[in-house]
Structure formats: structure tokens, C-alpha cells
Amino acid sequence: MFCPPLNPTVVGGGFGGGFALPDPLPIQKDLHMRILALSTWWPEPADNGSRMRIMHLLRALCSRHEVHLLAFTQGPSEGVQRTELTQLCASVQAFARPGRPLTSADRLKSLVVNEPASVRATWSAQFAQAAQATAASLRTDAVVAMEIDVAPYARLIKGTTRILEDLELNFMLQQHRLQRAPHKRLRYLLTALKHRSYVKHILRDFAAVTVVSTDEAALARQIVGAQALTVAVVPNGADVAGSSRYHYAPDADTLIYPGALAYHANLDAVQFFLQTMHPLIRQVRPQATLRVTGRNTAEQRAALMPHEGVEFTGYVEDIRALIARSSVEVVPLRQGSGTRLKILEALAVGAPVVTTRKGMEGLALKAGEHLLVADTPQAFARATLDLLASAALRQRLSAAGRQAVAERYDWSKIAADFCALVEACAQKGS
């Protein structure tokens, strides 16, 4: 089954092209559906990029339809926060995600079947049974699998429309390119090819797949070929209405990098900044301080080596307030994929941003107009120093960045278009 793609103002237009029909998809005003949402992440609290995305999309679906959520927790399933989820969803079920070390038998089996060994190592029979039982009792109109880890469970549910939300493809290829040792490059290449084959196999059972950027959309279309599948760009966004409550009023000479060090791309970015850029900045502005937010361990901090002018804040309840009090958000990313919620979140509260071309991937923003972009340590430090020295430059980027996010990356608009996609697919399949 094929269903039409998203509103072209989201898929194309300012986002550099994509796959779209000439006319926007309308919201079906009188349509009321039963939707089963399966999530890799427990969405509450919405304190990282994946959780934020899932929560915003759930809010849109729940505002119009009856949504039943099954989600894995990133720890014990008892006592998880569900304050908002229980108000939004018709029912909520939490499951601790199992995991075991991969065995030789797992790896050998992966040579002859499409399914990666990691799928078997993290399989939850309890989650599978609950998904099938919930779908059967509700007679669901659509199943939305939020990230690829829950796609196998969605495939168990027959006779309904399935949508895979937030497929990520670039990551595996990047891991291959980052390796220097030949044997590691070969291993990651084989893993990427295996992942590609697996994605192509499972997408046969889905009516639509969403990705965050046109680059990811091109990869997805390349993989599925002539297969009748909607590939829709649903970009990451920012809470524009909520961010309007914050006013950019920075403490002097303060820099911020928001992101838990447990994520390898964050650790690499902070390490890169502290080793090569921070010393150059402090030569000119000795009081400059970098705030690194998010949970971290002593081992992760030790990997960064001691540096003066660094503050590890730990988990911050209201990250937007701290960003609005920082002079500049620095995002010197060299790894990772997708589009950076941290950049959109900073621009939405009016904080100027310096990032790399890697950090800016997939964002319809202009270097020099909405944010500053530099790839070498010297250029990155210079751009940061320019912002610290010039209130006028900070204010110009603050106003332009805030306006661009409001026009192009407002979660309320993005989530409404996603809702329209789900409705169109379900209508087509009914």
C-alpha cells in the first residue's frame, strides 16, 4: 500500500527538496482513529532528542485520536514518570527492555538471515504479546513504530496500516568512514550492508517511513527502489510557543554545550572543543567558561582531561533557561547523524550558535545569517570570540535564528503534518 507524502512545506520548500505531492495533505476533521504507538524510548520526561520528538508527535496524535502507547523504558519499568502520558493516551504500558551479550551463535545466524543479531539479543516476548493483544482488542486503524528497534513488533500486527517513524540510515555508514584500521572499516562496512538489507526487508510491511532530512530520504528511497512506499521528511523541531517565554540575557563570557556525555558524538565534540578551541578562546578571554550539561560519569569526565574554565552542570531541569543565560552555544560536532535538536532549541530561545558543517547537516539555515559555521579549531574559536566581543552580532543572529525556527521548525506545525500523514495512510488502507 502507498500513501501520499507530507505537506510540501515540510518535505520540500525551505528544506531543500524532498518527496511531495503538489498540494498539502488536509487534516481529516471528522476522522477519529484508534492508533497503537510502539516506542523505543519511554517519552517522559522529554529530556533528550528522541524523547522530545516522540512526545511532540504523540501530543499531536492524541489531540485528534485515541492513542494506546507501549514503550520500552531505559531502566526498570516500575515507577517511571507518566504524568503527562496518562493524560494524553487512552492507555499506557511500560516494559523494561531486555538485553544479553551477543553469542557466537547469534553472529553465525546473522550470516544467513536478514535479522541482525542485536534484534534477537534485545527481543521482548512480553512486549510482542502485549502489542498483538492490544491491537486485537482495539481493532486499531494504524500502528506507528517510533524508531526501527520496535519495527519488528509492528510487523507482527496484521491487517492494519503500519508507519515507521524516524528511520536513521546515515549513522552506520558514518561509523564505517570514521574507522582507521582496515579490519574495523571492513567490519563496519559489513554491518552497514547488513543493516541496509534488513531495512529493505522490513519496509515491505510498512505503508510509510519518515526520516528527519532530505539526505536520509534519498538514502531510504535508494534502498527501497521501486517499492511502493511513502518516504516522508518529518524534520526535528523546537517548541516555539514554549520558547517564547525565555529571553536571551546572557551571563558574560559563558559558553554552553547541552548533551549527555554518554552519547559518543557529544563526548567527541566536547573533547575536540576542550583540546583545540577552548585554549584559544581563553587566551583572549581568560574568564570564558564552558558549561557542559547532561548526566555524566567520573569516567567520562576523566576522558576529557582536566581543563580550567569548565563546569559540568549535571542534569538540568530547565535546559532552555540555562541556554538563554549563556552567551553562545557551541556545537563542534564531528560525528552523529540526523538534525540537531540542540541547535534548534538554542535558536528558539534566541541564543546564538557556532557549529560545524557536520552540526548543520539537514538544517535549512544559512551560515552567517542564522548561525556561524566553522570547521577548523582556529576558525571556530575566532567565530566564538567574535560573538563574545560583539553584542550587536549576538543580537542580530539571535533575532534571525529565532525567526527562522519559528517559520520552519515549529513542532506544532511539523507534528500536525505528521498526524495528517498517519490519517492519509490509514484512510488509504481502510
Domains and CATH numbers, the chain: 8-237+410-429 (3.40.50.2000), 241-408 (3.40.50.2000)
Pairwise CA distance, residues 394 & 191, whole Å: 44
Asked if residue 400 has pLDDT above 90, the reply is yes
Tell me phi and psi for residue 219, to 5 degrees.
-65, -45
Closest to 158 (Cα-Cα) out of 137, 135, 138: 135
Q: What is the pLDDT of residue 23?
A: 45
Asked if residue 371 has pLDDT above 60, the reply is yes
Q: What is the pLDDT of residue 252?
A: 96
Q: What is the pLDDT of residue 257?
A: 97
Find the mean pLDDT for residues 354-374: 96
Question: Which neighbouring-strand residues pair with 38?
Answer: 70, 145
- Cell 557542559 sits on residue: 292
- Cβ contact 228:203 at 8 Å: no
Asked if residue 216 has pLDDT above 50, the reply is yes
- Cβ contact 55:46 at 8 Å: yes
Find the mean pLDDT for residues 327-351: 91
What are the CB-based long-range contacts (under 8 Å, 24+) for 176-184?
Answer: 178/335
Q: What is the pLDDT of residue 13?
A: 29
Pairwise CA distance, residues 161 & 163, whole Å: 7
Find the mean pLDDT for residues 239-260: 96
Find the mean pLDDT for residues 61-78: 93
How would residue 7 be classed by pLDDT, with cut points 50, 70 and 90? Answer: very low
Q: What is the pLDDT of residue 15?
A: 32
How would residue 404 be classed by pLDDT, with cut points 50, 70 and 90? Answer: very high
pLDDT tens-place string over residues 263-306: 889 999 999 999 999 999 999 999 999 999 988 888 888 888 77
Asked if residue 131 has pLDDT above 80, the reply is yes
Q: Which pairing describes strands 353-355 and 372-373: parallel, antiparallel, or unpaired? A: parallel
**Cβ-based neighbours of 181, under 8 Å, separated by 6 or more:** none
- Cβ contact 344:404 at 8 Å: no
Q: What is the pLDDT of residue 174?
A: 63
Q: What is the pLDDT of residue 29?
A: 60
Asked if residue 240 has pLDDT above 60, the reply is yes
Q: What is the pLDDT of residue 9?
A: 34
pLDDT tens-place string over residues 138-147: 999 999 999 9
pLDDT tens-place string over residues 155-190: 999 999 999 999 988 766 666 566 667 766 677 667
- Cβ contact 239:273 at 8 Å: no
Q: What is the pLDDT of residue 48?
A: 87
pLDDT tens-place string over residues 94-111: 999 887 777 777 666 666
User: Which 3-state string (H, E, C) describes the chain?
Assistant: CCCCCCCHHHHCHHHCCCCCCCCCCCCCCCCCCEEEEEECCCCCCCCCHHHHHHHHHHHHHHHHCEEEEEEEECCCCCCCCCHHHHHHCCEEEEEECCCCCCCHHHHHHHCCCCCCHHHHHCCCHHHHHHHHHHHHHHCCCEEEEECHHHHHHHHCCCCCEEEEECCCCHHHHHHHHHCCCHHHHHHHHHHHHHHHHHHHHHHHHCCEEEECCHHHHHHHHHHHCCCCCEEEECCCCECHHHHCCCCCCCCCCEEEEECCCCCHHHHHHHHHHHHHHHHHHHHHCCCCEEEEECCCCHHHHHHCCCCCCEEEEECCCCHHHHHHCCCEEEECCCCCCCCCHHHHHHHHCCCCEEECCCCCCCCCCCECCCEEECCCHHHHHHHHHHHHHCHHHHHHHHHHHHHHHHHHCEHHHHHHHHHHHHHHHHHHHC
Q: What is the pLDDT of residue 215?
A: 87
Q: What is the pLDDT of residue 28?
A: 60
Most confident residue range from 79-83, 219-223, 339-343, 349-353: 349-353
Find the mean pLDDT for residues 314-328: 95
Most confident residue range from 14-23, 157-166, 305-314: 157-166
Asked if residue 22 has pLDDT above 70, the reply is no
Q: What is the pLDDT of residue 192?
A: 73
Q: Which has the minimum average pLDDT: 31-40, 78-87, 234-243, 403-412?
A: 78-87
Instruction: Share the mean pLDDT of the chain.
Output: 88
Q: What is the pLDDT of residue 183?
A: 67
Find the mean pLDDT for residues 313-341: 91
